[in-house]
A and B are shown apart, each in its own frame.
Chain A
């Protein structure tokens, strides 16, 4: 029997999707061995969150009423205390930006082996985790030889749990050692929108690192103009300062759902795809036939953008 402790996440008063995906992943993993799924809700309106998380497959929800927003020092103390109380086999967390900020410390303090960014979990006596390597070009499996492990799951890989259930809800008291809370969140800021909002566009021509040089951006801008479309981009283009931040599509940029998304020289990294997989039609133009972007594309051109894009512009002139 392997019990699972899954740690949920919320931000500014709302549970994040990954919390419900953790319920699915956690209850699958626990039920493979007849174990229990424990959920932890740390900070914020824990009672309201517990109610929302009263889902099928969850055995017990532990609420820790400490703080309003995420603070990694508080999370680490709460999770290690819960671990010691419950003695679960596996601790599941989300591979989100906040997951990156506390999960490794939880694993380190509990001396648990850590496997991050799981896309598959299997428990057949021992735990086998599937993950991606080399920018998603290779998949690998990692077997955990220790009896226990800390694992973070990739957001969006598991279904969001929806079926109601009746777990026990228990308040869990942790003595937070304030001298070990050595970071303080002082506020949030939203990256402002400039004159264009890419989230409003019907058609996006989106450019990635395949464009190579700043001066070549003009070429994709011309295509966007010819198609009466808006120009957006992947992260490296914004990092390089070639386009403003409000043009970035992806996990840390904007989520867009246009009618057409034309990805030009974009590989389709998971953090990019997180922002555009909801587009109605996805077109990919890429020299690499194995680029992950083709996995989610509806139309594909395996080819050199510097040859294809000028031809495409000509078609619309």
Chain B
């Protein structure tokens, strides 16, 4: 059996940053594996550990820089990786859900996985949509925001819990093959061991271009255009306490006491 895990290297902006047109200026970005994908990777690796003959393949759409991040997933037990990139992607300001779906569908066609895991959302542009969109395109069943997974391979179903709002969980049976979007907290992502990190050096990260996937530049054309980016005006009307930590704490303590907190 083959499990495909989609992983994205996401950018986090530093506390002080500047914008450069429709982007955050590069020097203020730090890159990391998307938090949700860490949990998806762990879930896939655990499935492979609990069952015989499961291969875990990760796929990312990202530039060469992202290989360093992808390697961390390999160090945690992913068997091999695919990295989709192309010159046609360099100039795309916003890779929309439709475009990602077309690229990932082509990877699914080439790899023929039995099961796909994604994160609930990518923590940079937060569309929260790629997994379900992909499922629909490749005619897999799906479930979004999964925080518990029990795979019944003989019965061809996944018994999942979907985490709804307000502490309510939905129990759902999902026919296989399926795409599941994984919620944080479903497991405890491991740290990569030294041995894992060493082994990851020799694992494959296969680059694939649009033509490798049987696609052309039209696959990444989008009807969405990023037209502006700005720092939101602060809406804060908070009373700020200044000074050093001692002074700040003293002022806050005064307010708290006035309002009857910790006053005895």
Contacts and interface: CB of A to CB of B under 8 A. Distances in A.
Interface stretch (A60-68, A84-92, A170-178, A291-299): A291-299
Interface in B1-52: 11-13, 15, 17, 19, 22, 24
Contacts of B133: 104-105, 107-108, 114
B76 interface: no
A97 B164 contact: yes
A228 B264 CA distance: 9
B224 A108 contact: no
Interface string B158-181: 000111111111111111000001
25 contacts: A97-B162, A97-B163, A100-B129, A100-B144, A100-B181, A101-B142, A103-B132, A108-B137, A113-B98, A114-B98, A114-B133, A131-B126, A133-B125, A140-B226, A145-B225, A183-B175, A184-B173, A186-B173, A190-B167, A190-B169, A238-B185, A294-B236, A308-B249, A311-B248, A315-B253
Given A281-B259, A298-B238, 11 more contacts: A72-B142, A101-B144, A108-B98, A113-B222, A135-B12, A135-B123, A143-B225, A187-B171, A203-B262, A300-B238, A312-B252
A102 interface: yes
Interface stretch (A35-43, A47-55, A213-221, A250-258): A250-258
Contacts of A135: 12, 123
A229 interface: yes
Interface stretch (A22-30, A161-169, A282-290): A282-290
B234 A295 contact: yes
Contacts of A144: 223-225
**Chain A at the B interface: mostly helix, strand, loop or mixed?**
mixed
A212 interface: no
Closest 5 CB pairs of A and B: A311-B249, A239-B185, A315-B253, A307-B245, A146-B223
B240 A301 contact: yes
A302 B120 CA distance: 31
Interface residues of A, number: 95
B42 to A, nearest CB: 12
Contacts of A146: 223
B227 A104 contact: no
B238 A299 contact: yes
Contacts of B131: 104
Interface in A176-199: 182-191
Contacts of A149: 223
A123 interface: no
Contacts of A210: none
* Chain B residues touching A, range: 35 or more
B67 interface: no
A20 B197 CA distance: 51
Contact of A311 (B142, B162, B165, B245): B245
B238 A139 contact: no
A142 B171 contact: no
A134 B13 contact: yes
A31 interface: no
Interface in B103-147: 120, 123-133, 135-137, 141-145
Contacts of A191: 167-169
A226 B262 contact: yes
Nearest to A275: B166
Contacts of B94: 142
Interface of B: 11-13, 15, 17, 19, 22, 24, 94, 96-98, 101, 120, 123-133, 135-137, 141-145, 161-175, 181, 184-185, 188, 222-232, 234-236, 238-241, 245-246, 248-250, 252-253, 255-256, 259, 261-262, 264
A107 B162 contact: no
B218 to A, nearest CB: 14
A239 B184 contact: yes
B262 A134 contact: no
A312 B223 contact: no
B15 A136 contact: no
A98 B171 contact: no
A109 B136 contact: yes
A153 interface: no
B245 A303 contact: yes
A142 B226 contact: yes
Contacts of B264: 228
A296 B188 CA distance: 32
A10 B15 CA distance: 39
Contacts of A283: 252
Contacts of B168: 11, 188-191
A117 B128 contact: yes
A191 B169 CA distance: 7
A132 B127 CA distance: 10
Contacts of A190: 167-169
Contacts of A76: 136
A96 to B, nearest CB: 7
Contact of B240 (A100, A300, A316): A300
B132 A104 contact: yes
A242 to B, nearest CB: 11
Contacts of A294: 234, 236, 238
A108 B129 CA distance: 10
B250 A315 contact: yes
